[in-house]
Amino acid sequence: MDKIYLNEMDFYGNHGVFPEEAALGQRFRVNVVMETDLRAAGRSDNLEKTINYADVYTLCKEIVEGKRFNLIEAVAENIAVDILERFESVERAHVKVIKPNPPINGIYDSVAVEIIRGRHE
C-alpha cells in the first residue's frame, strides 16, 4: 500500500489532566501516515486523484488547537477517525501525537502515543 506522510506538524493546544495544562496550553507535534492507493495520482499528475496535504494539516490543526482533551490518546483517536471519515481513499491512518514538555519531573525528550486505525477494522 502506498503512503502519504505529514511529519512533525507543530500545534499549540490545551490538553492534559492538570489544570495548568488546560489554562496555559503547550506545544504538540503530530505525525500522520495515510495508507492509500496513489497510482491514479502518479499517472495523472492530478491533485483530485490524491489527498490534499493542506486539508489534512487543517484537520489536525482544528483538532489539536480547537478542542480540549485530557489525554493525547484522545487527540490521536480523533485525528485518525476524522481522517478516515473525511478521506474515503485512506485505508489506514497512523497518527502519532508527541507531547514534548509534559509535567513530569525527570530528563527525557518527550512522551508520545501512536495509534493505527483502519477502515475495515
Q: How far apart are CA 51 and CA 47, in angstroms?
A: 7
Annotated catalytic residue within 49, 61, 67, 99: 99
Decide if 99 is catalytic. Answer: yes
Q: Are strands 26-36 and 2-13 parallel, antiparallel or unpaired?
A: antiparallel
Q: Which positions are annotated as active-site residues? A: 99
